[in-house]
Amino acid sequence: MSTLLVTGGCGFIGSNFIRHLLATDRAVSVINFDCLTYAGNLANLADVVDHPRYRFVKGDITDREQVRAALRLGVTDVINFAAESHVDRSIQDSGPFVRTNVIGTQVLLDAAREGGVKKYVQVSTDEVYGSLGADGFFTEATPLHPNSPYSASKAGADLLVQAYEHTFGLPAVITRCSNNYGPYQFPEKLIPLFVTNLVRDEPVPVYGDGQQVRDWIHVLDHCTGVEAAWRRGKPGEVYNFGGRCEKTNLDLTLTLLDLLGKPRTLIRYVKDRPGHDRRYAIDCAKAERELGWARQTTFDQGLLETINWYKANATWIAGIKTKDYLTYYENQYDRLQ
């Protein structure tokens, strides 16, 4: 029997991960440790709240005593999803990013050491590698070159994890995944923002020329990757996960418009995000080879299901506690048209 401390479990990926594990492994109990920032939403796990192997603990990963107390609940393993995760917010104010992503990780690592956990999984991002030109892919050997305060804070956390593994023998692994999409994503991120705007016939803000490339993966495929890294990952190793599905932002926007039957006149080209990374693309051959991981969801199928989920879950969107994402880009970047 394993008892996982899943931090950030009320966010997008953490909530999908918890639902997936509870449904697929009877030998796993989950303690969801989350301080409920603007992105943390108890409604994301409303369907498992009474599950006998699930427990929610409200707590902040930067608070040493709260983290220690949570670990004393019989925790065997830690999966760290908790983070400030939105690049645009990190450009506006990097403070919460350094606090949660770097200091929070350090506090968790110390507690995991003290608690003698069997495995510590750090959920990181491909953004720590920086930006690619037209060719090539990020491998686990690509040097870290973070460009945004968000990715710099995630890279700092990754380096701490590697140092704790090396210095103290903490059995830690790092996962680095490309852009996720799927149900329960906070609607400040491209796909849920654009879908929820378009459903209401509201315009969608495309940054710069829209030619930036992202590699899209369904959130459940990321979750099975994190699970594989937890079960079979070798301490000290990094595992990349990606969708082998590169799209320019403009192509993706046009696909969303077509699938929702909306006119192209709803596109607004706005001033580019400062320091905007041009292209991300992941080589995930190591995870396929060493962890036996494989993606299950094609982009066409997953995107359609995701659109239908947002259409069918208007009350979830209406219940989101802060609405600033609706006008976020207008405050941040000048509109060009």
Choice between 81 and 333, CB closer to ligand NAD: 81
Q: Which stretch binds ligand NAD (CB under 6 A): 34-42, 106-114, 300-308, 326-334?
A: 34-42
CA atoms within 13 A on the CB side of 245: 22
CA distance 213 to 138: 13
**Which entry of ligand NAD, ligand TYD, none binds 329, CB below 5 to 8 A by partner kind?**
ligand TYD
Which residues within the stretch 45-84 sit at the binding site for ligand NAD (CB under 6 A)?
A: 60-62, 81-83
Residue ranges that bind ligand TYD, judged by CB under 6 A: 87, 179, 189-190, 193, 205-207, 212, 214, 249, 273, 329
Which long-range contacts does 62-65 make (Cβ < 8 Å, 24+ apart)? 62/99, 62/100, 62/103, 62/104, 62/107, 63/107, 64/107, 64/110, 64/111
Sign (positive or negative) of CA dihedral 187, 89, 211, 287: negative
Nearest in space to 235 (alpha carbons), one of 118, 139, 126 = 118
Establish whether 150 is a catalytic residue.
yes
Structure tokens at 327: 């006008």
Establish whether 126 is a catalytic residue.
yes
CA distance 81 to 289: 24
Beta carbon of residue 165, minimum distance to ligand NAD (angstroms, whole number): 18
- Binding pattern to ligand NAD, positions 185-224, x when CB under 6 A? -x--------------------------------------
**Which entry of ligand NAD, ligand TYD, none binds 61, CB below 5 to 8 A by partner kind?**
ligand NAD
CA distance 97 to 84: 5
Binding site for ligand NAD (CB under 6 A): 7-8, 10-14, 34-37, 39-40, 60-62, 81-83, 85, 100, 104, 123, 125, 154, 177, 179-180, 186
